[in-house]
Amino acid sequence: MPSAATRPSSASSVRPAGRQNVNALIKHILEDDTLPEMARDLFRLQAKEYASVEARLREVEAKLMNWHRADDVSRRIATIPGVGPIGSTMLSIKAPPAATFKSGRHFAAWLGLTPKDHSTGGRVRLGGITKAGDPGIRSTLVVGATALLRHVRKGRTKPSPWLAALLERKPPKLVAVALANKFARIAWRLMVSGGVYNRPPAPMLSA
């Protein structure tokens, strides 16, 4: 058994997670001369496949950004903190006309972003989201909400009283769905009114 002096430390073997660190991880693996050559050959093949996927993703993202910049509705929806150009472009392209829905609540329900209600002994509890609407738009808005909550937890963004209170009472995943629901309601209002989201002077996204 190798001694502590010759064993690689756990700190040196653990690499940062995240898509932005993949290229550094690949470089580290391919330069690791302790790996068998066959293993490095396999990683080289995977690196080529990853580079090809990255190139296709950049092409798709460029097309989406071109659409976003040219589309008035998408640009206005993107003013909502946490939505971003990808979410706003998907809403602009894939959602039915806003006039189809009576209210933002109906629009959010169509997207499947209205948590199911469960009544027990007179108390209403929120369950998982429904399977209605467009799963691509729904998941994109939830991802955006999750990213915004991450900034809140790290102290980079100050939450509104509504959001702060919700974070105290509910688990993060349920809060992300509630926040995505709010995104959808605001987006519907902007699509109907033709306006943009005005950040309040107090914490953002107040109720």
* pLDDT (0 to 100) of residue 126: 43
* pLDDT (0 to 100) of residue 113: 86
**Axis-axis angle for helices 172-193, 161-169 (nearest 10):** 150
Q: How far is CA 72 from CA 68, 78, 80, 175, in A?
A: 8, 10, 14, 30
Q: pTM (2 decimals)?
A: 0.69
Binned average pLDDT, 10 residues per bin, the chain of 207 residues: 45 63 80 83 87 91 91 94 92 90 91 62 45 80 93 87 89 91 94 83 47
* pLDDT (0 to 100) of residue 7: 43
* pLDDT (0 to 100) of residue 157: 84
Where along the chain do its domains lie? 17-59, 72-193
* pLDDT (0 to 100) of residue 131: 54
* pLDDT (0 to 100) of residue 9: 41
Tell me which residue has tokens 């955006």: 144
Question: What is the rounded CA–CA span in Å between residue 166 and residue 158?
Answer: 14
**Rounded-to-10 torsion of CA 157, 161, 164, 168:** 170
